[in-house]
Amino acid sequence: MPVEHNESRNSARHESQPGGAIAILAGRPLLPNTGIPLNLDWVREVRVNTSAVERRAQSQVARRTVKKEWQAAWLLRAISCMDLTTLSGDDTDERVRRLCAKARHPIQREIEQQLGIEELQIKVAAVCVYHTFVETALHELEGSGVHVAAVSTGFPAGLSPLAERVNEIRRSVEAGAHEIDVVITRSHVFGGRWQALYDEVAAFKQACGSAHMKVILGTGDLLTLRNVGRASVVAMMAGADFIKTSTGKEPTNATLPVGLVMTRAIREYAQQTGMAVGFKPAGGIRTAKQSIDWLAMIKEELGPSWLRAEMFRFGVSGLLGDIERQLEHQATGRYSAECRHPMA
């Protein structure tokens, strides 16, 4: 049975926003984030009820499920919002080429035909690599519409001198990267040095120029949800286009409680400023069920206009294989072996 890709069709209504807006929240058109002056009173007023956040996240998983063609539609949306990532010490040009081939055609042709979704031309949003491989990725993805994102600023620790981190960004932008994923200095958060954090992110934003900047908070290192909330607000004030949970290298990466705090910070920022900021969970999202949990949370907390690659991304390396298995099950009624769904 062909999949009726309702989530794509519904979200497509938001592709052309009125008056140059990039998202809509509670009927209000929102503009891209250009940042605002640092408001320390706002930052200090951030409070998080940890137990309430954890209960809300648990209820999200327990009471949200979709089946059959509806599940397939949500999974196709998840693919279209992926930053397909390889950030290993043993990365090679050939590995990046294979990843780019998968990014262009993330679903096997046979499965597409069985689901009747060929005309949707599903592809991932971006490929995320180290600066060294930006040129390779750009060549392999030319004409595909898939963006190239480069991690920068001393990824993953972010502890190299500021001038070096800024120059890293500039080199990747000059090489042609469409998006830059930067990491903050976590010690600024621990010490409550909000002006220093603001100035750092603002310097990164200036270096990015027209490239979109995703600010990685390293939430697994920030210890408390209140720190996550405050760092989110400061990053947005400094001009972040996206805020991102993790590098994928921390002991704990993207979790729903962290995501709930960050999405509610995005919602409050939009309400206060009229500007929209995107969200990217990264690290530890490996199953199709997890991807639907995240999408459902985004829809409930921020609304359907965030369910697009322009406003939401998954940073993943292993998720696509499980989603492809689920789509094959939808098409054939049988689960295939994982080895039938390699990354390339």
- Place 335 in a pLDDT band, splitting at 50, 70 and 90: confident
The pLDDT of residue 65 is 73
- Residue among 146, 140, 212 nearest 179 (CA): 212
Question: Is the CB of residue 273 less than 8 Å from the CB of residue 256?
Answer: no
Tell me: pLDDT of 270 over 50: yes
244 catalytic? Reply is yes
Query: Does residue 280 carry a catalytic annotation?
Result: yes
Angle, to 10 degrees, between the axis of helix 288-302 and the axis of helix 50-63? 120
Is residue 306 a contact partner of residue 312, using CB atoms and an 8 Å limit?
A: yes
Q: Is the pLDDT of residue 340 over 80?
A: no
17 pLDDT above the threshold of 80:
no
Average pLDDT, the chain: 92
Q: What is the pLDDT of residues 282-296, one digit of tens each?
A: 999 999 999 999 999
Which tens digit of pLDDT belongs to each residue from 234-263? 999 999 999 999 999 998 999 999 999 999
pLDDT value, residue 300: 94
Considering 214, 244, 293, 322, which one is annotated as catalytic?
A: 244
Q: What is the pLDDT of residue 7?
A: 43
Query: In the structure, what pLDDT confidence band is assigned to residue 2 with cuts at 50, 70 and 90?
Result: low
Comparison of pLDDT for 8 and 200, the residue scoring more: 200
Mean pLDDT for the stretch of residues 212-230 = 97
Closest CA to 279 of 240, 323, 251: 240
Tell me the per-residue pLDDT of 163-198, one tens digit each, with 9 for 90 and over: 999 999 999 999 999 999 999 999 999 999 999 999
Annotated catalytic residue: which of 123, 205, 214, 280?
Answer: 280
Strands 23-25 and 28-32: antiparallel
Q: How confident is the model at residue 297 (pLDDT cuts 50, 70, 90)?
A: very high
15-19, 28-32, 223-227 — which is least confidently predicted? 15-19
Task: Report the candidate in 140, 131, 125, 128 with the shortest Cα–Cα distance to residue 94.
Answer: 140
What is this structure's pTM?
0.93
User: 90 versus 65: which is more confidently predicted?
Assistant: 90
- In the numeric block, the tokens 């069709």 are attached to 9
Identified catalytic residue from 181, 221, 241, 322: 181
Identify the residue with better confidence: 4 or 264: 264
205 is catalytic: no
Is 67 or 91 the better-scoring residue by pLDDT?
91
Taking CA atoms, 307 is separated from 10, 315, 340, in Å, by 10, 15, 29
Give the chain's domains with CATH numbers. 6-16+27-340 (3.20.20.70)
Q: Using CA atoms, how far apart are residues 219 and 204, in angstroms rounded to an integer?
A: 19
Mean pLDDT value across residues 256-280: 98
Residue with structure tokens 């780019």? 100
Residue 151 or residue 18, greater confidence? 151
